[in-house]
Amino acid sequence: MDTKQHLENALAKIRPIFEKAMERIDALKPGEKIPATKLADDLAKEVGMTGPALYPTLKFLFEGYPGVDVKRGAHGGIVKLDPNATVKVVDTTDK
């Protein structure tokens, strides 16, 4: 097996995990959230891994995910945004 085939095999393994994560995130209702670590734990169990081992890989999917806000910390998680909500813009420039 050459290196390009190895890469394709590795991507073929991670794609279904990303797709399952996307299904879970997309199923959230506006304002609902799921802790990213819980999502990683749940998916990891399905593929024979641990959540902490899978989490760094899932971060590539979480970052910039459309329609969600990823908050850090004890009260953080992946929060589904309300597509109908208005965004409040605050001017922070000095006047």
Q: Identify the CATH class of 3-80.
A: mainly alpha
pTM for the model: 0.80
Provide the token pair at 6. Answer: 């190895």
What are the extents of the domains in the chain? 3-80
Q: Per-residue pLDDT tens for 17-75?
A: 999 999 999 999 999 999 999 999 999 999 999 999 999 999 999 989 999 999 888 88
Q: How far is CA 74 from CA 51, 78, 87, in A?
A: 17, 12, 25
How many angstroms separate the CA atoms of 33 and 77, rounded?
Answer: 6
CB 63 within 8 A of CB 23: no
Provide the token pair at 52. Answer: 């902490």
Block residue for tokens 């329609």: 67
How many angstroms separate the CA atoms of 57 and 49, rounded?
Answer: 12
